[in-house]
Amino acid sequence: MLSLRQKLLVGFGGLLLIITVIGMKNILQVTDLGGAIDSILRENYRSVIACQTMKESLERMDDGSLSIILGNRKEGFDIIDKESIHFEKALNIELNNITMPGEGEMAHHLEGLFAQYKSIIISMKDPSLSSERLHKIYFTDLKQLFGEIKSTADTILTMNQKNMYDESQQAKRTGTTARHEMYILLLIGASVAVVYVSLIGKWILRPIKHLKASVDEIRHGNLDLVVSSDTHDEIGQLSDAFNEMTASLRELRRSDEAKLVRMQQSTQQTFNSLPNAVALVDQDGKVEAATDTAGNLFGLKRGVQIMNLHITWLKDLFKDAIGGNHPTSQLKNAPVIQHFVNAQEHYFQPTAVPILNNWKQISGAILVMNDVTKQLEQDELKREFLSTVSHQLKTPLTSVRMALHILLEEKIGSLTPKQADLLTAAREDSDRLYGVIENLLDISRIESGKIEMNIQSVPVGQLIRSAAESFQASARDRNIDLSMVLADNTPDVIADTTQIEHVFANLLTNSLKYTPAGGTITISAETEKEHVRFLVADTGSGIPAQYLAQVFDQFFRVPGQETKTGTGLGLTIVREIVQAHEGTVRAESTPGKGSIFSFTIPRSDKIKSYTKEEEEQTWLI
């Protein structure tokens, strides 16, 4: 059995042999034709021209002889001498171009006749000869030699012309033979090519086509297909390799299916053990795995399409995750949603995390709905407890403060210096305690939404100038430069002026407290897409990076601060007020260089017009 390489060599070798034979045959025949044409041009044609020249020169020499007879001796002899040279030159060409049998004898005979003719001409130069004698010599001797010379030249001319004709006919016959041979060789080559093309289809193209069809079947998942081949060449070996590959793929598929089933079971068991509602969704919105909680509370069961559910925020949450490559929540400013389950009110904090493949492309998302109902209830209980305790403490504390003031005024008796010092210390502590209680009540009122805020459009410059003017005197007393930076095109914001002044008061109080003399505090504003960001930057001692995430927590104070005053509630109040305005707060700091506290307030020209469906949803701050 021939291999594929040998089959190709046989086919292409045959074609190459035919092309070589045709090429060599053409070369030989063209060489022969060229030789024949060269023989005609080089040999016979030169003799023909020489004979024609001799005849023409002889004719002119005869005319010269007649001129001598007529008495024009000088003119006649000049013609004869001139043409004699031409005749002899042509005769020499003929003598040196003898190509046919008998042509040499004729040429030499012509040479002898011309020698006799020339000797008679020389004899006619004798001036003593009379005209009658010249007349007799011409008609008796020259005329006869003229005829013989001309006849001999014609004979040689005819011999060469006949040979030229014969050679031309031979070249024509050679060309015809070559053309016929070319036709035969081309026919043979075409036949061999047709046979080879048919063999190519049988040997190569048909097996390749069958192999391609088998590969397409395998590509569509038919791993049970066996590629058949009747040959043992390279294509047959390739078919065997494909069969071995499909056998390996079948084995891998069986093992992968078993692993996949185990993985799905393990994943589902793991999901079921999670307390939160968690769902794994592919990029088309189809749920691939979900916890029982997700299925019971939100209908996120395996095989369900998210877009078919009637939960708008869940659809938006999924679109948010598929559209980016970072964790996201339903609304940045309202991460907690209200959801009713069996007529019971629950609160969830939804989060979506995109799943990236090896090419950093999003292939799905994990949806996590953290149930924060108990947390919110506990926060509400804590707020109510703090509010109740604060109210309960406020009344007796007011009485204690009044009593301390009365005693210190000595309206009911004089005090010793030691008694006065003790009462002064008690008054300061009671004032501090009263401030703590007021702050706790403020936080409680803000968180519970009991503070009525007068929300209106306010120029940013008005808020910044009001805050700076309130603390300008305190800054001068501490030798601190308090400045403002405000762009002319900054848009207005939607805010409660009193509450925002409270925010600035807390931030500026902290900046003045921790900025040494000679430092600077700058109040500025930056325009963002839908908000305006207010910044309070100082050159104080700064805050270590590990404490930045805690500075807005209740009662938190940065360890190691030199200043011991403060209750740790000021920044908490700032956060609650800003969040009540649907804004965010942020702290940045570099120890030893200063801090930047910033918060955002919605722009008045970017207020969203909510639809009725959105207004029916309850979002908690």
Q: 370: closest CA among 476, 291, 466?
A: 291
Q: What is the pLDDT of residues 387-400, one digit of tens each?
A: 666 666 666 777 77
Q: What is the pLDDT of residues 138-150, one digit of tens each?
A: 888 888 888 888 8
Q: How far is CA 394 from CA 301, 347, 553, in A?
A: 53, 33, 23
**Beta carbons of 389 and 400 less than 8 angstroms apart:** no
Q: What is the pLDDT of residues 210-245, one digit of tens each?
A: 777 777 777 776 766 676 666 666 666 677 777 777
Flag whether pLDDT at 42 surpasses 70: no
| Highest mean pLDDT of the ranges 348-362, 450-464, 535-549 | 535-549
Average pLDDT over residues 391-411: 74
Q: What is the pLDDT of residues 535-550, one digit of tens each?
A: 999 999 888 888 888 8
Flag whether pLDDT at 39 surpasses 70: no
- In sequence order, what E strands does 385-499 have? 456-458, 481-485, 493-495
Structure tokens at 79: 């013609």
- Mean pLDDT estimate for the chain: 78
First to last CA, the chain: 84
pTM of structure: 0.42
Structure tokens at 403: 């009593």
Q: Tell me, what's the pLDDT at 523?
A: 94
Q: Please indicate whether residue 272 or residue 570 has the higher confidence score (pLDDT).
A: 570
Q: What is the pLDDT of residues 237-290, one digit of tens each?
A: 677 777 777 777 777 777 766 676 666 666 666 666 666 788 888 888 888 888
- Amino acid identity at 262: R
Q: Tell me, what's the pLDDT at 495?
A: 92
Looking up tokens 């504390």, which residue turns up?
Answer: 397
Q: Tell me, what's the pLDDT at 33?
A: 61
Q: Tell me, what's the pLDDT at 621?
A: 31
Flag whether pLDDT at 609 surpasses 60: no
Q: 107: closest CA among 42, 40, 156?
A: 156
Structural domains in the chain plus CATH codes: 18-176 (1.20.120), 274-371 (3.30.450.20), 378-447 (1.10.287), 454-607+616-620 (3.30.565.10)
Flag whether pLDDT at 2 surpasses 80: no
Q: What is the pLDDT of residues 85-125, one digit of tens each?
A: 988 898 898 888 887 888 888 888 888 888 888 888 888 88
Q: Tell me, what's the pLDDT at 65?
A: 85
Q: How confident is the model at residue 588 (pLDDT cuts 50, 70, 90)?
A: very high
Burial class (CB in 10 A: 0-12, 13-18, 19+), 619: middle
- Helix residue ranges per DSSP H, 302-356: 312-323
Q: How confident is the model at residue 376 (pLDDT cuts 50, 70, 90)?
A: confident
Q: What whole-number distance in Å separates Cα of residue 215 and Cα of residue 223? A: 10
| Highest mean pLDDT of the ranges 8-12, 74-78, 529-533 | 529-533
Q: Tell me, what's the pLDDT at 334?
A: 43
Q: Do strands 585-590 and 520-527 pair parallel, antiparallel, or not at all (unpaired)?
A: unpaired
**Beta carbons of 71 and 131 less than 8 angstroms apart:** yes
Q: How confident is the model at residue 447 (pLDDT cuts 50, 70, 90)?
A: low
Burial class (CB in 10 A: 0-12, 13-18, 19+), 607: exposed
Q: How confident is the model at residue 482 (pLDDT cuts 50, 70, 90)?
A: very high
- In sequence order, what E strands does 357-480 have? 362-371, 456-458
Looking up tokens 């003119």, which residue turns up?
Answer: 75
Element (H, E) at 452: none
Q: How confident is the model at residue 617 (pLDDT cuts 50, 70, 90)?
A: very low
Q: What whole-number distance in Å separates Cα of residue 208 and Cα of residue 450? A: 82
The DSSP code sequence of 202-263 is: IIIIHHHHHHHHHHHHHHTT-TT-----S--SHHHHHHHHHHHHHHHHHHHHHHHHHHHHHH
Q: Tell me, what's the pLDDT at 476?
A: 93
Q: 329: closest CA among 294, 284, 274, 370?
A: 370
- Amino acid identity at 576: E
Average pLDDT over residues 593-598: 93
pLDDT > 90: percent of the chain: 13
Q: Tell me, what's the pLDDT at 567?
A: 64
Burial class (CB in 10 A: 0-12, 13-18, 19+), 346: middle
